[in-house]
Structure 1
Amino acid sequence: MTDPIRTLVLDDDFRVGQLHRSIVDERPGYLALEPVRTIAEARAAVRDLAPELLLADVYLPDGDGIALVREAGIDAIHISAADDPATVRRALRSGAHAYLIKPFERRALVGALDRYARYRNLLAGSRPLQQKDLDRALGILHGSAEQVSTSRSATEQLVLAALGDDEASAAEIGERVGISRATAQRHLAALAERDAVEVRLRYGATGRPEHRYTRTA
Structure 2
Amino acid sequence: MTTTAPLRVLVVDDDFRVADLHRDAVDAVPGFRALEPARSIGTARSAIAEHRPDLVLIDNYLPDGEGVELVRSIDTDAIVLSAASDAETVRRALRAGAIGYLIKPFDSRALRERLERYARYRNVLDTADVEQDDIDRALSIVHGGPATTTRSATEQMILTTLGAREASAGEIATECGISRATAQRHLAAMAARGIVDVRLRYGSTGRPEHRYAASRG
The one of the two structures with greater contact order (alpha-carbon pairs below 8 A, sep at least 6) is: 1
Shift of 1:125: 2.1
Give the equivalent residue in structure 1 for 2:147: 146
Partner of 2:158: none
Once the 2 structures are TM-superposed, how far is the Cα of residue 73 of structure 1 from its aligned partner?
Answer: 1.6
Gaps of 5+ in 2: 150-189, 196-217
Counterpart in the other structure of 1:44:
46
Shift of 1:184: 5.7
Higher Cα radius of gyration: 2
1:131 — aligned with what?
132
Q: Distance in 2 between matches of 1:34 and 1:181?
A: 40
Match of 1:81 in 2: 83
Give yes or no for contact 1:136–1:145 (8 Å, CA) kept in 2. no
SS class of match (1:41): helix
TM-score, length-scaled by structure 2: 0.67
**C-alpha separation between the residues in 2 aligned to 1:40 and 1:52?**
18
Structure-2 residue corresponding to 1:119: 121
1:132 offset after TM fit, Å?
1.1
For 2:107 and 2:117, the matched residues in 1 are separated by 16
Aligned to 2:206: none
In structure 2, what is the Cα distance between the partners aligned to 1:77 and 1:101? 11
1:182 aligns with 2:184: no
What CA distance in whole angstroms lies between the structure 2 residues aligned with 1:116 and 1:184? Answer: 25
* Cα distance in 1, alignment partners of residues 42 and 16 from structure 2: 16
Contact 2:81 2:103 in 1 (8 A): yes
Match of 1:64 among 63, 66, 75: 66
- Look up the equivalent residue of 2:27 and give its one-letter code: D
Q: Structure 1 11/144 Cα, relative in aligned 2: closer, same or farther at 3 Å?
A: same
Q: Match of 2:95?
A: 93
Q: Between Structure 1 and Structure 2, how many residues are aligned? A: 153
Can you give the 5+ residue segments of structure 1 that lack an aligned partner in the other structure? 149-179, 186-217
What is the CA–CA distance in structure 2 between the aligned matches of 1:137 and 1:9, rounded to whole Å? Answer: 23
- Cα RMSD over matched residues? 1.7
Preserved contact between residue 8 and residue 35 of structure 2 (Cα < 8 Å)? yes
In the TM superposition, residue 7 of structure 1 has moved relative to its aligned partner by 0.5
Residues 138-190 of structure 1, C-alpha deviations (whole Å, 9 max, x = no match): 10111113279xxxxxxxxxxxxxxxxxxxxxxxxxxxxxxx633269xxxxx
> Among the aligned pairs, what percent are the same residue?
55
Q: Distance in 1 between matches of 2:146 and 2:95?
A: 22
